[in-house]
């Protein structure tokens, strides 16, 4: 079946630091992979996605590459801002079953 | 722009009350979902629907019920609320596996 494993948080960084949030997956079939972000008091918003192996999703300075050989979809950003403080969820789809990771809280200090 | 609405945003009620959490979307999506989000952030799927008159229970057992009489409307009902139902409830709709989330309802049962 499908599963997602995310690194546990919180991840605490200073502004302008490099960010990596790890996500690995298992899946049957050919899943699409997503990163969602949840700001305080809000629902989840799509951050980026990749639908096939070697695709790179990118948005707002965030990037993630769909790596089939390592079954990974790690989220990266070169220089984080205080406004990036939020909870980030990795998601995997395969055969119509959607699976979310447990979420990783990012805290960015000035 | 994707529009999915949830009301109320916040609700505080006493034990034993019947409540309905409303969810509506204007995108014409067939698939809709209800998630319960615990304080540790993890999302638990409690109900989903693939179209009108279709409803299924999710991965987490829930004492709530749902209905899908119209494509745009997917309400969730608790017949007798208990303190253990205190949580954040998120509604979502999807197309091509991309999920669109409402802002959530934060429910507190005293």
Per-residue HEC secondary structure of chain A comes to CCEEEECCCCEEEECCCCEEECEEEECCCCCEEEEEEECCCCCEEEEEEECCCCCEEEECCEEEECECCCCECCEEECCCCHHHCEEEEEEEEECCEEEECCCEEEEEEC
What the block records as the tokens of B60 is 């987490």
Overall average pLDDT of the B77-100 stretch: 93
User: Which of B:51-110 have CB within 8 Å of A?
Assistant: 90, 92, 94, 97-104
Cβ atoms of residues B4 and B22 within 8 Å? no
How many percent of chain B have pLDDT more than 70? 98
Q: Nearest Cβ partner of B97 from A32, A41, A44?
A: A32
Inter-chain touch B101–A87, beta carbons under 8 Å: no
- The yes-or-no verdict on residue B2 having pLDDT over 80 is no
- Rounded to the nearest integer, the mean pLDDT of chain B is 93
β-strand partners of A26: A3
pLDDT at A27: 86
pLDDT bracket for residue A96 (50, 70, 90) = low
Inter-chain touch A46–B98, beta carbons under 8 Å: yes
Q: Looking at beta carbons, which residues of chain A come within 8 Å of B36?
A: none
State how far the Cα of A64 lies from the Cα of A20, in Å rounded to an integer.
Answer: 10
Q: Nearest Cβ partner of B103 from A36, A43, A98?
A: A43
Q: Nearest Cβ partner of B101 from A43, A49, A87?
A: A43
Q: Looking at beta carbons, which residues of chain A come within 8 Å of B42?
A: 100, 102-103
Q: Say if A97 is an interface residue toward chain B (CB within 8 Å).
A: no
pLDDT bracket for residue A29 (50, 70, 90) = confident
- What Cα–Cα distance (Å) separates residue B32 from each residue in A80, B47, B75? 33, 9, 10
Q: Which residue has the higher pLDDT, A36 or A98?
A: A36
Q: Nearest Cβ partner of A43 from B41, B97, B104?
A: B104
State how far the Cα of B59 lies from the Cα of B80, in Å rounded to an integer.
Answer: 21
Overall average pLDDT of the A24-48 stretch: 91
Q: Which residue has the higher pLDDT, A74 or B58?
A: A74
pLDDT bracket for residue B38 (50, 70, 90) = confident
């Amino acid at each position: 079946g499908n599963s997602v494993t995310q690194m546990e948080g919180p991840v605490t960084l200073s502004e302008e630091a490099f960010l990596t949030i790890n996500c690995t997956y298992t899946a049957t079939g050919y899943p699409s992979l997503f990163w969602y972000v949840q700001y305080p008091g809000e629902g989840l918003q799509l951050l980026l996605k990749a639908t096939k192996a070697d695709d790179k999703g990118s948005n707002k300075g965030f990037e993630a590459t769909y790596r089939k050989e390592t079954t990974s979809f790690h989220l990266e950003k070169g220089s984080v801002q205080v406004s990036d403080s939020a909870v980030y969820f990795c998601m995997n789809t395969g055969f119509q079953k959607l699976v979310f990771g447990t979420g990783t809280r990012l805290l960015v200090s000035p | 722009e994707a529009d999915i609405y949830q009301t109320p945003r916040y609700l505080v009620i006493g034990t034993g009350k019947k409540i309905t959490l409303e969810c509506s979307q204007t995108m014409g999506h067939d698939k809709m979902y209800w998630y319960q989000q615990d304080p540790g952030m993890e999302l638990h799927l409690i109900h989903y629907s693939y179209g009108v008159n279709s409803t299924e229970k999710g991965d987490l057992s829930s004492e709530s019920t749902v209905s899908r009489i119209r494509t745009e409307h997917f309400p969730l009902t608790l017949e007798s609320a208990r303190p253990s139902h205190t949580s954040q409830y998120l509604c979502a709709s999807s197309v091509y596996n991309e999920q669109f989330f409402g802002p959530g309802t934060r429910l507190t049962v005293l």
